[in-house]
Structure 1
Amino acid sequence: MMDGELGAFLRSRREALRPGQVGLPEGVRRRTPGLRRAELATLAQVSVEYLTRLEQGRDTRPSPEILAALADALRLDDADRQHLQELASVNHRQQLCAGERSAVSRTVRPEVRALLEALRDRPAYLLNRLGDVLAWNETFDRLARPLGLLDGAHPNLVWFVFTDERAREYFPDWAELADQQVTELHGLRRGDPATDAFAERLGRTVGAPFMSRWQRRPVAVRSTGVRWLRHPEVGPLRLAYETLDVADDQQRLVVQLPADAASAEALDRLLGRRPGGLRSVAG
């Protein structure tokens, strides 16, 4: 169960909010990043004592009215509001108890494998909620194996991004990619002890590059976007990606497509295909 997570989440959002964002003077002698407790309490019209109890985990069930007031005062976006409601719901213990979550799935259904193969013209791979790369098609193998991502018997995308120096070399937007991996890990967490154990191991291994992101508790997951890749064999690639949830399996299917004509031609070369065989998203 996510003991103390409600308070930690509120504190993370308070410390991330600058006074100027809510119309308060910045000041010059602030020992606390972001808003002070007293400032947030005033904005939300709650007592400092009550806000302290919430942040320290001594009260885990604020009323819907207080939740709304805190969300408004903290300028939370939709994803953060939803996460806050989940943490503080009336059925908090039933919803977020570790025993209620199924084990991390590492089994790939035959139908999903068939779908991966059907996407033979596009790199595609399957992840579970820990970022384990469970299955992939031949096109993704040709793309990812030279990077080192598929080294070892049990490749993991999050672990590769943070622990393998090649990731920083091959992904020019490494910092953005690292943010995304932590956001997905945190957004799918929801009381899963396996996720917490994985995050603890990763934090011990790499320290601040992971922990500073993990402690911010990001939850707004992006299911689509464009990623830059400096491929060791064919050079720069811009790959658009689409992420699809696999029903009931807590798994995600990621499909990549060339984002421009140059990337489509480079991917053709990598796959040994006739130039122009692949079309870019823009084309």
Structure 2
Amino acid sequence: APRLTKADLDKILNQPVLNTSFLDRPVIVESVELLKSGNNFLVRSRSTDGVEAITAPNPAKMIQTYPIFIRNIAPVFIKRDARELQTLLWDVYRHADNYKLQGMALWPGVAAVEMSLLELLGQTAKRPVADLFGGRRKTDIAIYYASGVRGNKPEEEIVNLQKLVAAAGAKAIKFRLGGRMSKNADSLPGRTEALIPLVRKTFGDQMTLYADSNSSYDAKEAIRIGRIMEAHGYAFYEEPCEFDDVWSTKEVADALTIPVAGGEQEYSMHRWQWDG
């Protein structure tokens, strides 16, 4: 398939995403509140018509960044039409130099408001949020179960993965490689090289396997590890190099046949386009 150009990606990004044609009058945001109980949070948004939506943001990120949510993010949406959410997301990015906070400090809070206003639009229209995106496409969604453990022995990680699969009936699993931002050091000597084939041997060819190195390697070492993954039929290789080192990540992706995935902390749309 021909490789997409930046112009192609820009054209896609400039297309409208939300379908609000069934909302024939403005949905003016009256309030956006952050409710807290211990380490748990809810976002409650209300429209001037009295419609209310309650959603749950990421608690781990909100406990770290809620002052930014309260001061820098939520006020931007007040007295604005929630139907214009796509435009509002750009407005909040540039409001009061918020773009200088971009990353984990800014985007989890923006996502919290975005989810809340999507729910507010759905509640106003008395339709599922999926209708805002063209309607439901699937009733079932394939998932994988990820192990967050790193530093245990290969045999111990096998037991951990078996428990996860048994509990969830998962048909795809992901586990950790390397040492996490470790400049090629493994969490235990030889753990990665032993674990990659051992997981395949244990779960067989019917299990879809992924692995995540969490920025562990430079390009040369990442390619070496990727070759082992290729030899054992892995489906993707996540974040082989430091997440913002797009040059090394591209070098790895070009050298391997296995798909290379980026990390979830990538916050730059320009770098995302470059990676694409």
What TM-score, normalized to structure 1? 0.25
- Larger relative contact order (CA 8 Å, sep ≥ 6): 1
